Chain A
């Protein structure tokens, strides 16, 4: 079969123009005819050949096609020109002179360590301050209260339990507002 990429281009573009483009590689593959698939594979093969990313067998396959197929030859030539143009594409002139870049890079390099020193000193001063505060606080106050709950303090006595059970001061009943109970 003679691959004709120009025909493939036309057939493919009209298919997509009809709104049959698919959303994923897999679906796109389903939408392609066997012929188009073969052409696509050949294009991929030629592309990989240009990059030297083919096996020895694939290389021979491409070279046979290039020797016998004019359409393949034209495509190969276009791709070579594309590569050359891509690589020689002029980049828009720089927005700033290189000396300015040099100056800015060194300004940043030299600023960073100084900032680190400032931060370091700041942290050291803060640590000293915290240390001093801790030193001023009486040791006993600073001890967490949880640690002070000792088991002997938790041992209840009967007397205490009775005391808790009854109010220490007799609460006069008169102090409670008499509810208006329904008669």
Chain B
């Protein structure tokens, strides 16, 4: 029996009757999410459309949180499985994007914990313990001032490298703020640290990035 044929309540059927007639790719994001919340589990066609629309967002979040993981494609599948199982619990469909980010972030932290248990850092020159104090407040960049014709692409490449070079706790904290737009309180709750630590980590990550990229940022 296909999932679409699972019984739904008559009132729900009536409520979505108008949208149901519309092709899924013509639905607004909000209506699409509402349709995914109908019944016990989302219908295949609407859920597939949801993946098509938001997969790039999932990839973006996972990319910034785990730039050096090669199995991000598997993680994004797992994110969608969690969404599939839990979307009916989402109270405010207009907040789907933030909710999706949170699922991806939680999954990232689950994985991070597993990987830390299984394999300690291998790099000999990397500090074993990436706690706050191990990132100096500032490392001035020696890079020459870029010429005017320097491509934006090159700047992005530098920025990408600088972000990837941040110690993990700083990178994830600034990503939660800048990419996921989380409030300090949410970040504190998610990462299990105090509000003051979140504030300090974000400032320190910014200080390091702006210092390393100063020439580009002032150009």
Residues in chain A within 8 A of chain B (CB atoms): 8-10, 12-13, 16, 21-28, 40, 43-44, 47-48, 51, 53, 74-75, 77-79, 81-83, 85-87, 89-92, 94-96, 98-99, 101-102, 104-106, 108-109
Contact = CB atoms under 8 A, between A and B. Distances in A.
23 contacts: A10-B140, A16-B136, A16-B137, A24-B133, A26-B133, A28-B133, A40-B137, A43-B207, A47-B199, A48-B184, A48-B199, A48-B202, A75-B210, A81-B217, A85-B217, A86-B179, A86-B209, A87-B179, A89-B156, A91-B63, A91-B64, A94-B55, A104-B77
A51 B177 contact: yes
B83 to A, nearest CB: 9
A17 to B, nearest CB: 9
Contact of A25 (B59, B132, B207, B214): B132
Contacts of B207: 43, 47
A13 to B, nearest CB: 4
Given A86-B163, A106-B44, 4 more contacts: A74-B218, A95-B73, A98-B55, A105-B81
Given A102-B52, A106-B48, A109-B84, A22 B213 contact: no
- Assign chain B's interface to a size class: 35 or more
Contacts of B131: 24
Interface string B152-178: 000110011001000000000010011
Q: Which of A87, A95, A106 has the largest count of B CB atoms less than 10 A from its CB?
A: A106
Contact of A82 (B51, B132, B213): B213
B218 A9 contact: no
Interface in B124-162: 131-134, 136-140, 155-156, 159-160
A122 B206 CA distance: 56
A78 B214 contact: yes
A20 B207 CA distance: 19
A85 B73 contact: no
Contact of B60 (A53, A85, A91): A91
A9 B159 CA distance: 19
B151 to A, nearest CB: 13
Contact of A51 (B136, B160, B200, B202): B202
Interface of B: 44, 48, 51-52, 55-56, 59-60, 63-64, 72-73, 76-77, 80-81, 84, 131-134, 136-140, 155-156, 159-160, 163, 174, 177-179, 183-184, 199-200, 202-203, 206-207, 209-211, 213-214, 217-218
Given A74-B218, A86-B178, A101-B73, A47 B206 contact: yes
A16 to B, nearest CB: 4
Contacts of B136: 12-13, 16, 21
Contacts of B73: 95-96, 101
Given A40-B137, A108-B81, A85 B52 contact: no
Contacts of A48: 184, 199, 202-203
B203 A43 contact: yes
Q: Which of B56, B63, B133, B218 has the largest count of A CB atoms less than 10 A from its CB?
A: B133
A37 B52 CA distance: 49
Contacts of B59: 91, 94
Contact of A105 (B84, B134, B203): B84
Q: Which of B137, B183, B184 has the largest count of A CB atoms less than 10 A from its CB?
A: B137
Contact of A22 (B80, B133, B155, B184): B133
Contacts of A94: 55-56, 59
Q: Which of A74, A83, A102 has the largest count of B CB atoms less than 10 A from its CB?
A: A102
Contact of B199 (A53, A81, A90): A53
